[in-house]
Amino acid sequence: MLADLLGDKWSRAYRRLREPKTQDELNLNEAAILTALEASPIPVAELTLDPKKVLHWVARADYATHHPSYYSENLAEKSLEHFLASMLLELQPGDVYVDIASQNGVAPEIYNRLHGVIPYMQDLTFEPGIHGNRIGGDAGNLPLPGQFADVLGLHCSFEHFEGDRDIRFIREAGRVLKPGGRCVIVPLYLCDHYACLTNPLLSVPGRVTFDDEMKLYASRTWQNRHARFYDVRRLVERIWEHREPLEMTVFVIKNYQDVDSSCYLRYAALLRRPSDLIRT
């Protein structure tokens, strides 16, 4: 009976979603994505993981001891994201690291323990302003001085930036990173068309405004209200064209499932501020 009632509620919420929409599963069409990336102005690099190195790093991170309740349903994917971000960011002792849209994330603690970074956590749900190592507010309008951070990390969070917050964050990254600073987005969610995954039970009462050209994919099991999947055209328009003064590379991870069959980390983005560029 309860399942029937919830099903009816979900169906009513789905009907209230604007078109175009579907209940079909999202098909990424990786071949089409790669073709479009190669034809775009964005530099693309293939990356092949060494599963032994990944597992060695994960063992050092020791989630079971330090974060025993963290993502038990899919720790393989989350730990792979943390490993890859740390590798692409080339974390060094003393780096000022800001975990963007951190919420309950564990990366700041792990990066401090394994790599010696000075960790900060930023999230929209935190008290506004800077309070110790917690930074509250909009990621597209960070309450930080220019050239504050050496490294910024986004783990399974950038896709949740609604409206123009993705564009505004990229501009902010260029402002708050020091010369030589780096910013990583893992995963970078791509599709062959502009799409958004949503659960209408969350997005409809939350009055989420979706971008006009997005096709909405409604899921009964997805526990988020907004997950943007860029097509390459929108990746160029929304990220690449607003990246200055940052350089940008998209990485295509060739063998993510060699780490674990549950992993889905197909793409990542690295943005770097040139070391010889000083912006006032």
Domains and CATH numbers, the chain: 40-190+230-272 (3.40.50.150)
Residue 3 in this model has a pLDDT that exceeds 60: no
Residue 6: predicted pLDDT: 56
* pLDDT class of 280 with cuts at 50, 70, 90: very low
Three-state SS sequence of the chain: CHHHHHHHHHHHHHHHCCCCEECCCCCCCHHHHHHHHHHCCCCEEEECCCHHHHHHHHHHHCHHHHCCCCCCCCHHHHHHHHHHHHHHHCCCCCCEEEECCCCCCCHHHHHHHHHCCEEEEEEEEEEEEEECCEEECCCCCCCCCCCCEEEEEEECCHHHCCCCHHHHHHHHHHHHEEEEEEEEEECCCECCCCEEEECHHHHCCCCCCCCCCCEEEECCCCCCCCEEEECHHHHHHHCHHHCCCCEEEEEEECCHHHCCCCCCCCEEEEEECCCCCCCC
Give the mean pLDDT of the chain. 95
Tens of pLDDT, residue by residue over 36-47, are 999 999 999 999
Whether the pTM exceeds 0.85: the reply is yes
